Amino acid sequence: MTQMSKIEWTDVTWNPVAGCTVATAGCTNCYAMRMAARLEAMGVEKYQGLTRKSGDRYVWTGKVVTDDNALSAPLKWRSPRTVFVNSMSDMFHPAVPIDFIAKVWAVMQATPQHTYQVLTKRPEHMREVLSMPEFPILSNVWIGTSVEDSAVLDRIDSLRATPGAIRFISFEPLIGSVAAADLTSIDWAIVGGESGPRARPMPEEWVEEIEDLCREVGTAFFFKQWGGRNKKLTGRTFKGRTYDEMPNVRCVS
């Protein structure tokens, strides 16, 4: 399924893969898990069996689906788009065959007019895969990892060691201080508090720490949201203004 996105830092989501399993604490209130349950209830074939009810919430079953039919979607978009790849999964989940990732890579290579944002909570596996010769560095593909607290700071090292044109970090949902992070060679940092009924709080101090880290090494700083139960009310103003910085795009060809 492809759809225009409400996410502040992208235009459209593209989901050649659906389904996942939780990795770390940042996954606890996974939006994709809730959305997959909703899509299953609506009868959307691709999402059947991806989640099950557990108490008062839905959780992943562990089933991961690859969707060959979705692969052609970007080839049909005429005007350039910024595309968030796999908002309903994690492309570097161990259940996704490397052959299928190669197909996704081929589509992205064939559509240089689009900019792709690939985000994972499994950057060590991403590093292994993207180090293979069949995965050339593509200047229109940004690779990123999510970092929710200091327990997963090693993801940044894996990202840094991964061949890529642009590297970014999504500090969302930020549920702990990451003041010890090293952002050297990281092009872009997105910061956001958790939203939804079970949102965990994000003190302003944690956001300030990340902005300082960005300024030290020249990483672009994007403040997405404060989050909370009603993210429209809390908004996305930080220190009296919005921060929508984007990375400097380098050409690698």
Cα-only R_g, the chain = 17
CB of 156 within 8 A of CB of 169?
A: yes
Residue 46 per-residue DSSP state: G
Is 59 a binder of ligand SF4 (CB under 6 A)?
A: no
Instruction: Give the nearest distance from C-beta 98 to ligand SF4 in angstroms.
Output: 18
Q: In the complex, what is the shortest distance from the CB of residue 87 to ligand SF4, in angstroms, rounded to a whole number? A: 8
Side-chain half-sphere CA neighbours of 32 within 13 A: 23
Strand partners, 116: 83, 141
Question: Which positions from 1 through 30 interact with ligand SF4, judged by CB under 6 A?
Answer: 20, 22-23, 27, 30
Q: Which is nearer to ligand SF4, 172 or 209 (CB)?
A: 172
Name all contacts of 54-58 with Cβ < 8 Å and 24+ positions apart. Answer: 58/33, 58/34
172 binds ligand SF4 (CB under 6 A): no
According to CB under 6 A, which one of 15, 51, 66, 89 is a site residue for ligand SF4?
89
CB 146 within 8 A of CB 156: no
Residue 65 touches ligand SF4, criterion: CB under 6 A = no
Selected from 46, 81, 114, 121, the binder of ligand SF4 by CB under 6 A is 121
Q: Determine, following the binding rule CB under 6 A, whether residue 152 of this chain makes contact with ligand SF4.
A: no
Q: Closest CB to ligand SF4 among 93 and 167? A: 93
Smaller CB distance to ligand SF4: residue 24 or 139? 24
Structure tokens at 40: 């299953």
Question: How distant, in Å, are the alpha carbons of 29, 74, 139, 140, 170 from that of 252?
Answer: 37, 21, 6, 9, 23
Site residues for ligand SF4 per CB under 6 A: 20, 22-23, 27, 30, 32-33, 89-90, 121
